[in-house]
Amino acid sequence: MKRNILLALLVLPATYRAQAQAAAPLTAHLDKVSLTVTLGPDGRPAYAVSYGPKTVLKPSRLGMSFADGKGFDGPLVLAGSETKDVDETWQPVWGEVKDIRNHYQQLTVHLRQPAADGRKLDVVFRVFADGVGFRYEFPRQSGLQYFTVQDEFTEFNLPANHKAFWIPGDYDSNEYAYTTSRVSEVNTTPIKAIQLKAPANRIQTPLMLKSDDGLYVNIHEAALVNYPAMFLNVDTKTFGLSSQLVPDATGTGAKAYLQAPEHTPWRTIVVSDKAPEVLASKLILNLNEPSKIADPSWIKPQKFVGVWWEMQVSRGSWNYADTFNIKLAGTDWSKLKPNGRHMANTAHVKEYIDFAAAHHITGVLVEGWNVGWEDWANNWKEEVFDFVTPYPDFDVDELQRYAASKGVNIIMHHETSSSVTNYERRQDAAYRFMKQHGYTSVKTGYVGRIIPRGEHHDGQWMANHYVRTAQKTADNQIMVDMHEAVRPTGLHRTYPNWLACESARGNEFNAFSEGNMPEHETILPFTRMMGGPMDYTPGIFKIQGFADAKLKRQVHTTLAKQLALYVTMYSPLQMAADLPENYQPHLDAFKFIEDVPVDWDDTRILAAEPGDYLTTVRKAKGRDEWYLGSITDENARQQPLKLDFLTPGQRYEATIYADGKGASWDKNPTAYRITRQVVTSKSALTLQLAAGGGAAVSFKPVK
Amino acid sequence: MKRNILLALLVLPATYRAQAQAAAPLTAHLDKVSLTVTLGPDGRPAYAVSYGPKTVLKPSRLGMSFADGKGFDGPLVLAGSETKDVDETWQPVWGEVKDIRNHYQQLTVHLRQPAADGRKLDVVFRVFADGVGFRYEFPRQSGLQYFTVQDEFTEFNLPANHKAFWIPGDYDSNEYAYTTSRVSEVNTTPIKAIQLKAPANRIQTPLMLKSDDGLYVNIHEAALVNYPAMFLNVDTKTFGLSSQLVPDATGTGAKAYLQAPEHTPWRTIVVSDKAPEVLASKLILNLNEPSKIADPSWIKPQKFVGVWWEMQVSRGSWNYADTFNIKLAGTDWSKLKPNGRHMANTAHVKEYIDFAAAHHITGVLVEGWNVGWEDWANNWKEEVFDFVTPYPDFDVDELQRYAASKGVNIIMHHETSSSVTNYERRQDAAYRFMKQHGYTSVKTGYVGRIIPRGEHHDGQWMANHYVRTAQKTADNQIMVDMHEAVRPTGLHRTYPNWLACESARGNEFNAFSEGNMPEHETILPFTRMMGGPMDYTPGIFKIQGFADAKLKRQVHTTLAKQLALYVTMYSPLQMAADLPENYQPHLDAFKFIEDVPVDWDDTRILAAEPGDYLTTVRKAKGRDEWYLGSITDENARQQPLKLDFLTPGQRYEATIYADGKGASWDKNPTAYRITRQVVTSKSALTLQLAAGGGAAVSFKPVK
């Protein structure tokens, strides 16, 4: 379908005729979702989105300014438009479902500055059944080659004072608890900054919204490449949201250095009147480019244990010595006095390898294996780690030999302390070291302030770093898991070796802070995880009593809920985060972690409400087994289930890992009960979820 | 010798006693140079320098502030001091002389903040017979580990309104012509900025000064490592100079991120009443650390020709195609349409190899060999070059084979376009490529604005980059020549593979601008070259007529002066910069370039006056041959010579390459005359130097 209704305009003299243009809206739609694009009386383009009869976004401005002053922030003229329909299906390397349908109507709007030789801008919209994505495209043109984006003026104007699930717009951290409030009540001021204090009205995406008339709206972006992340400034009076890009280090307010032809990331609006459909949306993945990895056979979704949680709960240390004020160059690490609490030692790592091997866990992460942890953080220091030198008590070769003999892979750890220049100049050597020693996966970390100094975690330079790292690890057939990176935007479609990110407030916060309230895991799938898998590190069985009692620290969960998270939080990389000794008393419950897959042929969201509850069931990759997770917030609740997702006629043994009698996250978190029963697709179950609790169920065919 | 005269003070209560301290000056001296250090009534330390009865520097403040506010800018107390005498001799890997005497008296002044647990600072002075060096040292201490230098308050208070040879304090370029003026007249305002406009009173080091009573004073620094370069703010009323460090990218005014124990570079004051002694000074070299290269046998001083000047004079291009707006990734370079002016093509490079081989030149530089030159400059673009991909018409392997067969080395070229993050992440691969293809030397370039954006060429981050690059090339047994780098500070002692820098206004400016006036080369040795060798690229024989006549471009020289520069400008790396075809008509004169060594056993400065004239003679490394260069500014002059440097009793054939009759830089630059005569150490000669001219003489023993 070609849409040429505006060609008439083009025969008019190429002067600015805002009125004529304003009279000719451009539209696209699919199912209930409709898009309208207009040029206003002031020549500024705007778009609006509706869902059936309901307004999703009122007319919302499009545009951007450039550092050279000749941007697309003034009046523009319409130079044409066209639409096309696409309906295709593709298979991800790994994921929640086997096949993904990419069905949309595309509207391309060609704009230019009023002068005959004005600069040209395209805005490309894709309207899906579950929302809209659009991006700015800068075609190859003589009048626009190199340019610097100063500001983007994209708006998302909400029609009413929706409920919002938001975190402050810190350019350097997304590790915040979510606040649930009306849009009019957004105010980051009382919230303690993790890295960089945000203005009162600046928040992050993915932003989850719910209207009083039951519309669920999620605003985010897809394919963040060569551009800063988009934050949102909230107008608490009008309920308008506007794009705020992360500035660079120059102090000039410059946001992105681009060269045409180029385009921005996609701005995404996912919408439905059913919360589960938001979670099921593949809109963001569909807006990303296909995989760049021709042969992905070396990419393996995986579960892992690791030398990690014991440092989070201060039972041990990353550092080998307590000699602080160390310089990377010139220190003889063998001469340091060991502090006796260094967990990444050969003997201790072997215990993890033994546990992993005994329980069909394929990975063992080891943090603190390499020199530099004596004073790695908070000093804005460039030379902290070299990524290739083990501490004296960590025997790389012996551990590789031992792990290989047990069928286990050790996962490399590269904490950069955000000294990214240092990491970049050492990446080649670091990955060479990994290849030489048989490592196939790496967890990276970006704690602290970025070097190049003045840059931000979520700015263009760092966005490019993450993508370069995904590409460079792919070039070396290495899988990567990034912590403290910018929030994901579906780039794992393009780089399927990029298994997961943390990039949100993980389970670890329960170890060392006031923690994550029980509702947290019911919100994450609607927010952070809209962009991609999270390395949340579930599976804590010792829920209380791991820290000094006076600190009142605990994981805000029941044990059964920890199991459920392996299903409700999708990731191809799932940690069993607790210590082996804490799993030993509960090996019956650990059986679910042992069994649960990390790759799936199908996924059904059975029940969901952000901030309240979530029930998800998934079908194992390549076999007729189903795994279900159900979680609730601080409220106990019943979750009735119809098992009609099961294969008709097949009998399954359902193993139900439920909260035990009297269980609750605060009073009795480790009470659980495991029961078994035979079910079919015609069966029904009712799960009893304790306060802050959950349930996990495996369904295996009865032969 | 231990100096404990101040121990009496230490038994006083450790409170602030400025008066008592002020009463006890600390001194050190050697020959005519004397140093006095005092604590003023305000508790601030100061130093003063004299030369015999003459004041070199009046009492001048010492101190620095930190970003955390607890620096050494307030009152300090004296915690002790000591002196020691050092007299040793060392041998450089290459240089102007075979042996270098390092003779000084050292005074270490221990200071601390007034509180009993106040932070400690040492100031270490070394007094040489030809000047003073001093630096700030931060000892290991519990109260000062990581800190950020906000400002350094070092002053150099001149006693009078000296004549100064200065360039503007551009943090990103040193490629300026020198202005000669009184200190009171320093004003950068009328001077067009090369990169970053400097305030009116900010100038660069090395700063050459001359007092009305005949004292020559040079202010610079030695061993610039992990610190920004020092600029000077000039008080045109008091003739005080004060340190201005280059800020980092944060916009907070932060200058250096340090970790104790650490020290600043040395601040240097070279002084003499004889101009030649300033040029002969080894003070800056002596203040640098010894060589870090255990086996330097692979380091070879060298002469080279290159595919270069023809691009400077616009006869050809670095770029292969005229298709601008290229992206490094995704461009198929073989599909570009060649512009027919790409000089770095296999056949043309072979002509240079042939010429080099025929004239005992060991190196051939080739610029423009690698993809990315289509739009490499002025776009602040991060991905410009990859350093490993040749243009389609440059056959790496064939040229290496051909060059090797002729005993010639091709010199690699890495223009970074100042995208240093890009270079750093590709350096490993780039040097691997060099090793794989037999390259042993690299010329690097830093044209344009630095990435990491907001950093400066002369800031701490880049200072570290240059040193890292010297180290990394050394690790790969590669020699390096850096263009557009920070001005040298004697680090070639520590990294003798770091043969030279450009880092000043080179001969190339004659090709594409109003050029360098005849005095320029008489000033450079007193300024830029105090810090180390310069790749000035002398040897232009086609002095006029290389550009459109309307542009009035020429090299401001006679041909004979071009020869003299090979002696007057010391460098272990000397280019014969003109085109082979321009040498062909003057092969008799080219013989001097062919003969002149680039490594020496001895050097004598026979006559020198900054801005006017310079005559230098040097003895070839390991043989009894002497080479003399004599140059003048725009004034013709006679230079009488006593040849008493020659070995007594030995007869030499002197070959004199002199300006010809009627020669002058503007009217008749290529008139020269070559004469030969036999001389001994008792002979005398008088050289006739034309306006803007010079003379070169070789002395070879008569068997």
Quote the tokens at residue A507.
């389970």
Q: What is the mean pLDDT of residues A665-669?
A: 97
Residue A90 pLDDT greater than 60, yes or no: yes
B454 in A contact zone (CB under 8 Å): yes
Kindly give, in sequence order, each residue whose CB lies less than 8 Å from that of residue A172, ignoring residues fewer than 6 positions away.
A194, A195, A196, A449, A450, A456, A457, A458
Nearest to A327 among B259, B327, B375 (CB): B259
Q: Which member of B148, B260, B453 has the closest CB to residue A249?
A: B453
Residues of B in contact with A146 (CB under 8 A): 375, 379-381
**Contact check, Cβ <8 Å, B145/A421:** no
Q: Evaluate if residue A324 carries a pLDDT over 90.
A: no
More confident residue, A80 or B703: A80
What pLDDT does A25 receive? 74
pTM metric for this prediction: 0.95
Q: What was the pLDDT predicted at A12?
A: 36
Find tokens 């701005």 and name the residue.
Answer: A267
B143 in A contact zone (CB under 8 Å): no
**B325 to A382: CB separation less than 8 angstroms, yes or no:** no
Q: Identify the residue among B145, B425, B464 best suited for mutation to test binding to A, counting A beta carbons within 10 A and taking the highest.
A: B425
Range list of H helices, A516-558: 520-523
Q: Which residues, given as ranges, of chain B have pLDDT below 50?
A: 1-23
- Report yes or no: A21 at the B interface, CB cutoff 8 Å: no
On chain A, the residues whose CB falls within 8 A of the CB of B254 are 453
Per-residue pLDDT at A98 exceeds 70: yes
B428: chain A residues, CB-CB within 8 Å: 425, 428-429
Interface test with A, best of B259, B292, B323 (most A CBs within 10 A): B259
Q: What is the mean pLDDT of chain A?
A: 95
Task: Give me the pLDDT at residue B158, please.
Answer: 98
Rounded to whole angstroms, how far apart are CA atoms B495 and A354? Answer: 49
Residue B703: per-residue pLDDT: 84
Q: Do A454 and B251 touch (CB under 8 A)?
A: yes
Average pLDDT value for chain B? 95
| Spatial distance between the Cα atoms of A261 and A672, rounded to a whole number of angstroms | 58
Task: Sheet with B498-501: list strands edge to edge.
Answer: B498-501, B479-483, B441-445, B409-415, B363-366, B302-307, B573-575
Q: In chain A, whose CA is at the least distance from the CA of B324? A: A145
Q: What is the pLDDT of residues B467-503, one digit of tens each?
A: 999 999 999 999 999 999 999 999 999 999 999 999 9
Mean pLDDT of A445-471: 98
CB hemisphere CA count around A402 (13 angstroms): 19
Nearest to A76, CA basis, from A47, A48, A130, A115: A115
Residues of chain B in contact with residue A382, where contact means CB-CB under 8 angstroms, are: 257, 464
- Chain B residues in contact with A262 by the CB 8 A cut-off are none
* A508 has catalytic annotation: yes
Do B381 and A259 make contact, defined as CB atoms within 8 angstroms? yes
User: What percent of chain A is modeled with pLDDT above 70?
Assistant: 97
- Asked if the Cβ–Cβ distance from A379 to B454 is below 8 Å, we say no
Which residue from B553, B615, B523 is spatially nearest to B174, judged by alpha carbons?
A: B523
Among A324, A421, A431, pick the best mutation site for testing chain B contact (most B Cβ within 10 A): A421
- Reported confidence tier of residue A17, pLDDT bands at 50, 70, 90: very low
Predicted confidence (pLDDT) per residue in A493-542, tens digit: 999 999 999 999 999 999 999 999 999 999 999 999 999 999 999 999 99
Is B452 in Cβ contact with A249 (below 8 Å)? Answer: yes
From A262, A508, A521, A625, the catalytic residue: A508
What is the mean pLDDT of the segment spanning A67-71?
95
Please name every residue paired with B546 in a beta bridge, in sequence order, or none if there are none. none
For the cut 60, the answer to whether the pLDDT of residue A14 exceeds it is: no
Instruction: Please report the pLDDT score of residue A9 as a whole number.
Output: 36
Distance from CA of B112 to the nearest CA of A (A): 20
Q: Would the CB atoms of B259 and A379 count as touching at under 8 Å?
A: yes
**List of chain B residues whose C-beta atoms are within 8 Å of the C-beta of residue A464:** 382
Residue B508 Cα, gap to closest chain A Cα (Å):
28
In one letter, which amino acid is B295? Answer: D
- Provide the pLDDT for residue B374: 94
Contacts of B429 in chain A (CB under 8 A): 428
Q: Tell me how far the alpha carbon of residue B300 is from its chain's centroid.
A: 19
pLDDT of residue A252 exceeding 60, the answer is: yes
Distance CA A153, CA A636 (A): 44
Cβ–Cβ gap A454/B248 under 8 Å: yes
* Residue of A453, A456, A461, A469 to mutate, interface with B, max B Cβ within 10 Å: A453
Which token pair is A580? 């082996």
Measured between CA atoms, how close is A311 to chain B, in angstroms? 25
Please count the helices (runs of H) and the strands (runs of E) in chain B. Answer: 14, 36
Contacts (Cβ under 8 Å, ≥6 apart) of A295: none
Chain A contact for B90, CB < 8 A?
Answer: no
User: Which of A148, A425, A468 has the CB atom closest to B427's CB atom?
Assistant: A425
Contact B461 A453 (CB under 8 A): yes
Treating both helix axes as pointing N-terminal to C-terminal, what angle do B460-475 and B420-436 enclose, rounded to 10 degrees? 10
Beta-carbon separation of A379 and B146 below 8 A? yes
- Distance separating alpha carbons of residues B642 and A450, to the nearest angstrom: 62
Catalytic, out of B175, B508, B519, B625: B508
User: In this complex, is the C-beta atom of B259 within 8 Å of any C-beta atom belonging to chain A?
Assistant: yes
What string of DSSP letters covers B300-316?
--EEEEEETHHHHTTSS
Extract the tokens encoding B184. 């009171």
Considering only CB atoms, which chain B residues are within 8 Å of A148?
Answer: 380
Q: Which residue among A146, A425, A454 sits closest to B249, beta carbon to beta carbon?
A: A454
- Tell me if chain B has a CB within 8 Å of the CB of A405: no
DSSP for A344-412, please give it.
Answer: --HHHHHHHHHHHHHTT--EEEE-S-BTTGGG-SSS--S----SS-B-TT--HHHHHHHHHHTT-EEEE
In this prediction, residue B24 carries a pLDDT of 59
Using a CB-CB distance cutoff of 8 angstroms, which residues of chain B are in contact with residue A429? 428
Residue of B nearest to A262 (CA): B327
Give the model's pLDDT for residue B25: 74
The beta-carbon neighbor of A257 closest among B250, B380, B464 is B380
pLDDT at A41: 86
Q: Does the beta carbon of B416 lie under 8 angstroms from any beta carbon of chain A? A: no
Smallest CA–CA distance, residue A146 to chain B, in Å, is: 6
Closest-CA residue in chain B for A377?
Answer: B146
CA distance B19 to chain A (A): 36
